[in-house]
Every structure is written in C-alpha cells, then in structure tokens.
Structure 1
C-alpha cells in the first residue's frame, strides 16, 4: 500500500455563548478538539486567533483569553452571574490535521476517518487563574461527527444546546477543506526518508526499476494516479472557490470586496493530464507530476488563506450558513412527518392499531433507514433514523369532502410523477 499524507485545515469559530438558565454562578469556558478513528494515523496542530488582548486589565477582569491546553482549543474563560446572559466569544481555532491515506483509495480512506469534533463545557466556581485550568469540572460534552468529503469540504453554522442540567447554548461556525496531498513527513516512520512521489506513481522505488521493466502498464498506472490526485485537489479548490465567490455576494456594500481570479478547474485538469501523457520518460514524469501536485496544493492553500482572511468570524457568512443548516435539519426531520386526511365519522372509532402498523412500516423501510446524514451531526441533538420521531397529523374533513391519500409532508409540493415511482410512498398510501 502506497501512503500519502493529506493536509486538512479545519477552522472552528466559537461565536456566542448564551446562558439560558445555568444554576451556578462562576467561571465557564468551552473546550474544542478533534479526534479520528484509532486506526487512523494522524497528527494535529492548533492555532488560536482571539479578539481579546492577552493582557488582562481592569476593564475585562471577568474574561480571560483563549489558549491551547493539552491539544484542545480553550475559549475565553468568562464569568456568568445572571440568567439570560450572552457572552460574545469570537474565538477562532485553526486545526491543521495530517492523516495518512492510501494513494490508491483516497476517497474511501476519507470515508473511514471517523472525524469527530468535540465541544465541552467546563466550570470553576470562584477564583479562576490559568493554573487552575486542570482542576476545572467538565459539565457537558457534545460530539459532532464530521462527514468530510475531500472534494467539497465543510461549511456550516451550528447552534449547540448543552444538556438540560446545564441549560446553555453556543453558536459555532465550522469551515474545513483539503489543502494538500503529499508524501508523509510529519510522522515518525522508518521509511519516511526514502518515500517519494515516484514510489506512489510507479509502485516501487526509483533504484528498483530497470529499463526493461518500463512498459505501457507501468506508465498507465502513473498517469491514472497523477490524474486522480490532481482531480481531488482541483475539486477541493473548485468547491472552496465557488463557496468563496458566493459569500462575496453577501458582503455589505460598505466593505471592499477582495479581488479573486476565477480558475476553470476542469480545463486545468485536462491540461495537466495531457502534458503528462505526452511524456514516456519516467524521470520526467516524476518531476512533472511532482510539480503539478505541488502547484495544485499551493493554490488550495492560497485560496483557503484568502477565504479565512475575508470570512473568518464573519457575521454575513454565519447568517447565510445558519439558515442553510436550519433548512437542511428541518427537511430531514420532515421525512417522518405525515398528514392523514379522514372523515369526521372516524372520530367515533379507535384506529390506534393502524398507527402502530404505519409506524413500524416507516421505521423499518429501507427509505427511512437510508436517510442521508447532515454534514455535521450530533446524535443527541439530531438523532438517527432509529430515534427520529414519526409524527402523523390527522385532518378531519366534512362528509362532503373526499379524503385524499396520505403523504409525507416533505413531498407535498412535489409533482405526482416525483413520488409515484417511490415504492415506499406507494406502500404508505
């Protein structure tokens, strides 16, 4: 198996903390961290950007600056006294994530990362100092699974509700994108020094290949792998570029929009592939492929830095992403909401058994069990197909009105042809 190192950048912005009804006055802070599946070889580096000066003065003696503690990002530590209190945090944590993936199965490896984002609420009753951070009490933890696709990244704004015993909420913006695919270098591996891009392209080290081993199949392997890596990097660039340009349209007129030159990624991929396929010398292929991949990675880094500089802790992007997340979440919940039109005569009959049968039909259907997850989801807050509620709304009509067939509310506005082909809907009807 040929290994590549994927460089992912994940930015977590802790925007606002809302005290709904915390019982105890004292000092609170939010800690955030990223974990992968234990089987994934990974490394994490955190950078902090906070709006509060690290120098504490008399004007903000109840708020302490953000920092990094034991590979976790720690928000500003703030004093909560009154109910319904809001604290503007505006803490930005940049996670530089390095993971080892199989060069032959890049997308499949990303699907198996099991990337999880943790957000935890900590508390200290009185006399907070930085030295007391290890002794703070953890009150609640929320785990969000990140369904990261290297071609599309993640851009969302999520409201997070902590448990009912510590009734408070947090608004969080998450951005993530694949930046680089390179030979591994940050891991303590015995073969790092002799691992090169050449071994990925041709399946063996340069010193092991003789002239008589060079054949069309070996060259085709190099062409395909080069094309696959460039395609994923350019797809990552394309999705980030599209999102960046869309967010520029939402900037207020009073703000100056940065200059961005749109890049046609599909055209560039064809150009890079054609240049490489016109060469049959393995040394030239190695050098040119290395230059192409390095160029794509560098361009990803540039557009990412430009995006974060423009929209880091941006209120305009948070509003757009918040509405989009809410719409997706409600649409997913609506898959279990049905409307049933009945005659008023049915008010005199007991049909509870029919609802039990319908409940089992929906719950056990392949359609319902295969609902697509949200890009970022928390089981406790968003549920899974086994725990999502199934709701049936009864609409009683007069005797003159003829009841129509029952349909999920999520498809009420679709054309008849859109749901006539759905076997699940036919079964429910």
Structure 2
C-alpha cells in the first residue's frame, strides 16, 4: 500500500455567544479543537486567521492544537456577545492512495467546543484558571466534491443554557508525497464519569450524543531521503521513523532502478510504470475535483449575496487562478457547469499525456511531483482567496443558516 499525505483545512468562525439562562456571573471562554480517528496517522495545526471585533476581556489565543476564543464577561440574562473569532485547523493525514476519496468521505472529523468558566480572578497565561463546565462535539461531514460549508447554532447543556453560533468551511488543499511518518505514539484515555460535567459529549448536526474520549496523538517528522519542492523544510529523521522516498511513492514501495541492456541508462519495469501513471492520475484528478468544487461553490454563492468591490475583485482573481489551472484563457462566463467539467477533464488528459512522454525514471518522478506541486499551489491560492472574501460575511452566514433550517424541517 502506498500512502500519500492529504491536508484538509477547516475555517471555524465563532460568531456570537447567547446567554439564554446561565445562572453564574463571571468570565466565560470557548475552547475549540479538531480530532480525527486515531487509527489514521495525522497531525493537527491550529492558528487564528486574524483578530476581529472587540477584544472583550482577553483576546483569543492558540495553545498547540487548541484554540481559545476571546474571554468575555457575562452579567445578565439574554446577554449577547459578538465574538467573531476565526480559527484555522490544518489536518494533515496519511491516506491509502487507492482510497483517498472514500476515506475522506467517511472520515469522522470531530470539532470539540468546550465552555469554560470562572467567577474569580482570571489569568490569560494559565489555562487552568478556567474550569470546563460543558462540552459539545460536532461531527463534520466532509465531501471532496463540495467541501464543507455550514452554519449551526450549538447549544450547551441544560445546566449551562447558552448558545454559540458557528460557521464552518472546509476544503482539501494539498495532496502529495508523505512529509510525515506513519510511525506515531498515541495515548487514548477515558475521562472519569463521576459527574456529567466531566464528560465530553459528541453531537452531530442532528443532535445525537455519545460519550467521547480524549485523544492525544503526536507524530515524528523526519527528513525525507530525497529533497523536493514540497519537503524542503521537513525536520530531521530519527531512527524509529522513515519517510518513503519520492521514487518509492511514485513507482511503488518495491521499486528498484534497473539498468538498460547497454548499461547507459535506467529503465522502468511495466508494473512500476503503470503504478506511476495511476498514482499521477489519481492525485491530479482528486486535486482538480477539489478545485472545481470550491470554485463552483464560490461562483454559486456570489449569485446569492450582494455584490461589492471586494467581491468583484475576488471573482477576477479566481478567474485568473482558473485560467492558470487550465493553461489557457477563458472568455466565457463561469456559470456553465458542463463546460467547466469538460475543461477539468481536458486538463487532466493533458497532464497524463505529458508524463507518458518521459522515459527517464528520475525525470518522470520529478515531473509528477512538479505537477502535484503546481496543482496544490493553485488550490491553496484559491482557498486563500475564498477565505479572504467569505470570512465573517453576514449575508453568507444568513444564507447558510437558512439552508440548515431547510434541511432540518425537510
């Protein structure tokens, strides 16, 4: 089995906090973290996109893979607090190259939202000054074709009656040679169940609840044997963990170089060549599919929300990215889905025909790596442009809220 590294990026907006009937005055804070099943080798990186809104009592902060919202004070019933914290979670994972789409579609991405509180002195430097009083976990249903675009009001438990409005966007942004090792240490510990407050609750968007576990997972990040554009900043290798070479990923784990009969060059056995072509086709097709899905969603959204200068500029920039993807100008409008699909299929065919012209194994591996790097770069740029426009966009939030309501009542 050949593994590839995928990165799915989540944008989590904590929009507003509503005090329905909290019976304690004091400082409150929401802590967010992202988890996936421990059987999948992975690493989660967390960051804040940018500061927005009022600072309130204390600003938002990042602690490893945990993100703390602004700390705010609640004094009155029915109080409403604007948070506007934008949290970014980058989930890097190793997947079987033959089951990329299937695995991502079935993956349980769990977004935990923990409500913390103190009625005493609070120090931003010490997380323990706030105690956990309630928790909810959203099961995020990711689609490679559509990404994830959702808005939901999350209600904490009956004893801490309050609501936080959450907007989530997600997309695949990278797919390439592994830069993380499949060797990892995991610690899975169950929290005690002496009190309901000491339990984590797992809640999907339809409200089912299960006991959850605390999962801590860390990975080794050794230096790859062969340096490429994608792995030039990878950390040093250790004895317990080996990242596969570019050639072993492209041609298969059993690949070895073979001299030609005249001894002047290297040749590639048919089985390894077939693996390389299939590897290249699968990853390029997946990246193009993610690009088309995100681009199509953005075009659809722009027809639903009011136009402005920032939005029109973003549409122009996305058109440029789309043309770079196809390597040609597109005079037509982008509203025709059928033509767009034909464009992507044509580009995939061009990429596959290019690699079949290469006979040297080193050049073939480098060309495949370069194609993937270019597609990843364009997809990341598209995702960045998308976030630049839609982040904390009130009209889009209302549109997503209406979609969520329609799904619930239908």
TM over 0.5: yes
Per the alignment, residue 411 of structure 1 pairs with: none
User: How do 1:98-109 residues align onto structure 2 when only pairs under 5 Å count?
Assistant: 98-109=92-103
Say yes or no: does 1:232 pair with 2:281.
no
Give 3-state SS (helix, strand or coil) of 1:105's partner. helix
Structure in which a larger fraction of residues adopt helix: 1
Distance in 2 of aligned mates of 1:219 and 1:207: 12
1:51-90 matches, cutoff 5 A: 51-52=52-53, 63-90=57-84
Separation in 1, partners of 2:259, 2:397: 57
For residues 331-350 of structure 1, the aligned pairs below 5 Å read: 331=410
| 1:114-143 per-position Cα deviation (integer Å, ceiling 9, x unaligned) | 321111111111332214431312121111
Equivalent in the alignment of 1:32: 32
CA contact (8 A) 2:113 2:136 kept: yes
Task: Quickly say closer, same or farther: Cα 1:4–1:282, change in 2 above 3 A.
Answer: same
Alignment-derived partner of residue 137 in structure 2: 143
Q: Is the 8 A contact 1:198 1:205 kept in 2?
A: no
> Which residue does the alignment assign to 2:159?
165
Structure-to-structure mapping, 1:318-333, within 5 angstroms? 318-331=397-410
Is the deviation greater in 114-123 or in 190-199?
A: 190-199
| Aligned-partner Cα distance in 2 for 1:202–1:131 | 50
- Find the aligned partners of 1:314 and 1:299 in 2 and give their Cα distance: 23
Counterpart check, 1:311 vs 2:312: no
TM-score by length of 1: 0.70
Counterpart of 2:11 in structure 1 is 11
Unpaired segments of 5 or more residues in structure 2? 182-219, 227-243, 262-266, 324-342
Count of residue pairs the alignment pairs up: 324
Shift of 1:26: 0.8
Q: Distance in 2 between matches of 1:190 and 1:78?
A: 41
Q: What SS is found at the alignment partner of 1:252?
A: coil
Shift of 1:191: 7.9
Deviation at 1:266, TM superposition (A): 2.3
User: Are the aligned partners of 2:46 and 2:64 in contact in 1 as well (CA < 8 Å)?
Assistant: no
Aligned 1:145-224 pairs, distance under 5 A: 145-187=139-181, 188=220, 192-193=224-225, 195-204=244-253, 207-211=256-260, 214-224=268-278
1:245 corresponds in structure 2 to 299
Match for 2:127 among 126, 130, 133?
Answer: 133
1:152, 1:235 within 8 Å by CA — same for their partners in 2? no
Per-residue deviation at 1:166? 1.0
Task: Give the direction of change, closer, same or farther, for the CA distance of 1:96–1:190 in structure 2 (3 Å limit).
Answer: closer
Task: Indicate the RMSD between aligned Cα atoms, in angstroms.
Answer: 2.2
Distance in 1 (CA, whole Å) between partners of 2:3 and 2:106 is 15
